[in-house]
Amino acid sequence: MRNGKSRQLNFVFADSPRREPGGGQGEAPGEPGAAQWLQHIAKGKESADLTSQTGGTGRLLERVASVPNLARALRNVARNKGAAGVDGHSVEEVVQNVRRLLPMLQAALLNGTYRPGDVRRVWIPKPGGGQRGLGIPNVIDRWVQEAVRRVLEPIFEPTFHNSSHGFRPERGAQTAIAQAKRFIAEGYSVVVDLDISKFFDRVNHQRLLSRLAQRVEDGRILKLIHRMLKAKVVMPDGTKVAVTEGTPQGGPLSPLLSNIVLDELDWELERRGHGFVRYADDCNIYVRSQQAGQRVMDSIRRFIERRLRLKVNEEKSSVSTPNRVHFLGFRVLMGRTGKHAGKVQVHLSERSDQRMIQRIRELTPRTWGQSLDMCIEQINTYLRGWEGYFRLCTAGGAYRLHEYDGHIRRRLRLIIMRQKKRARHLYRHLRSRGVGYQAARNCAFRKRGLWYRSQLPGIQRAYPNAWFEERLVSLYDRWRSHVPPEPEMALDGQLLLPV
């Protein structure tokens, strides 16, 4: 009878007390200079037969388990950081013990004794409500997944459709929005907005392995991936759940596997002659009429459910005009009025706008009890990251960024007023900032709420926009510095050059 005990690989770390998560500072226990050693090994060259993509796919496991590939894979995992898995070992611990772990892992992969560990399930809130389940593999397992991804991606990447933009090298939201703009400019006025329900949880394992086998001849790789897919999930309450379908979000290999599954949908849309843009499980198909859109929705729904064995999310899918479609946080639409008429514009979607307003409230609470500088520093950190993504807005949609700037300044002025606590203290503070007697008195003693008084001349003179320019990130100014101004036309049609 076979032993039912888990055959997961148990790696031995350096003999030193285990650190509790969040406890203690400093380096993880391990060998000194391990990170430098990893960097040196990662720069090594793989042998020609392992790096050649034209030499067949019958010995892929040797490529996966090569020392330089494993070193580069761990370096990528360390760069992404991330939480520990079920075994509790952190990324820092694995890196510090890489000299002993790497040869052990290489041997386990080549002789077939490597077994993926269980996956830790965590729940994170979705922006639109509800929860999304993430699967966090052990760091060792993320290391192996990244090593596999590095070998498989060059094989599959050239075969993917050009309209697929999610989780691909040199592609992303920017290229997806750019392609959507071209479709709108060509006159496609209706969008079939498809969203696949719980895609990562419902991927059919057999279909996925079948798609992999079309280009991967090494059965050992297929068996390795199959074991990764079947790894049990440990729920937050400690319950272990067997997995029969899905690729858990959270591992480095999942994005590539998702594109391999949905590549079949891409080429089916191409075969039918549809123009589309897909980013992960969000797909927009562009047609010229509402009737054509409904017909496409019905036929593609049947293909997804019968052929791919997935399910369309009816609540989030629709046939609509571009200005009503939320795609990657934006609305791509044709301008209709003013100087933007006849030009394709990129605006924030309604959901993105609502999330931003909510986030501003969270970053600038009325009861802020620390220094204003700390509040501004926290806001600046968030705004820099937010603008780095949403700078894709065009001039027609950037007006909203200007409104955000004004809203944030007003909330900061409200915090300043509230921190003075008493009206007479606020009055003295405004006077010390050079505000006139009547304006300071009106702002401090007026029988209205703080929100109303935060836009009165007294507080605005004490803390003008110029004061905030030196301290606070301006979304609109940052957007304007990255986006060239649109040329203006004179009444006679001639181009006006900027002064």
**Structure confidence at residue 484 (pLDDT):** 62
Q: What angle do CA 120, 125, 129 make, to 5 degrees?
A: 140
Contacts of 198 (CB under 8 A, 6+ apart): 311, 313
**Structure confidence at residue 486 (pLDDT):** 55
**Structure confidence at residue 493 (pLDDT):** 42
Radius of gyration of the chain (CA): 28
**Structure confidence at residue 341 (pLDDT):** 82
Using CA atoms, how far apart are residues 140 and 61, in angstroms rounded to an integer?
17
Per-residue pLDDT tens listing for the chain (499 residues): 334 444 555 565 544 444 444 444 444 455 667 778 888 787 776 654 444 444 566 789 999 999 999 999 999 999 988 889 999 999 999 999 999 999 999 999 999 999 999 999 988 887 666 778 888 999 999 999 999 999 999 999 999 999 999 999 999 999 999 999 999 999 999 999 999 988 888 899 999 999 999 999 999 999 999 999 999 999 988 889 888 888 878 889 999 999 999 999 999 999 999 999 999 989 999 999 999 999 999 999 999 999 999 999 998 899 999 999 999 999 999 988 777 888 899 999 999 999 999 999 999 999 999 999 999 999 999 999 999 999 999 988 899 999 999 999 999 999 999 999 999 999 999 999 999 999 999 999 999 999 999 999 999 999 999 999 999 999 999 999 987 665 444 444 444 444 4
Residue 472's nearest CA partner among 397, 396, 410, 400 is: 410
Tell me how crowded residue 126 is: count the other CB atoms within 10 A of its CB.
9
**Structure confidence at residue 29 (pLDDT):** 54
DSSP secondary structure letters along 80-147: H-----TT---HHHHHHTHHHHHHHHHHHHHHT------EEEEEEE-TTSSEEEEEE--HHHHHHHHH
Q: What angle do CA 431, 437, 439 make, to 5 degrees?
A: 90
**In residues, how long is the chain?**
499
Using CA atoms, how far apart are residues 287 and 292, in angstroms rounded to an integer?
7
Burial class from Cβ neighbours inside 10 Å (0-12, 13-18, 19+) for residue 355 reads middle
Contacts of 160 (CB under 8 A, 6+ apart): 168, 259, 263, 266
Alpha carbon distances (Å) from 126 to 250, 283, 284, 355, 382: 15, 19, 21, 11, 18
The whole-model pTM stands at: 0.83
**Structure confidence at residue 336 (pLDDT):** 81
Are residues 248 and 233 in contact, defined by beta-carbon separation less than 8 angstroms?
yes
Tokens encoding 118: 């269980």
Q: Computed from CA positions of residues 173, 174, 180, 181, in that sequence, does the dihedral angle turn out positive or negative?
A: positive
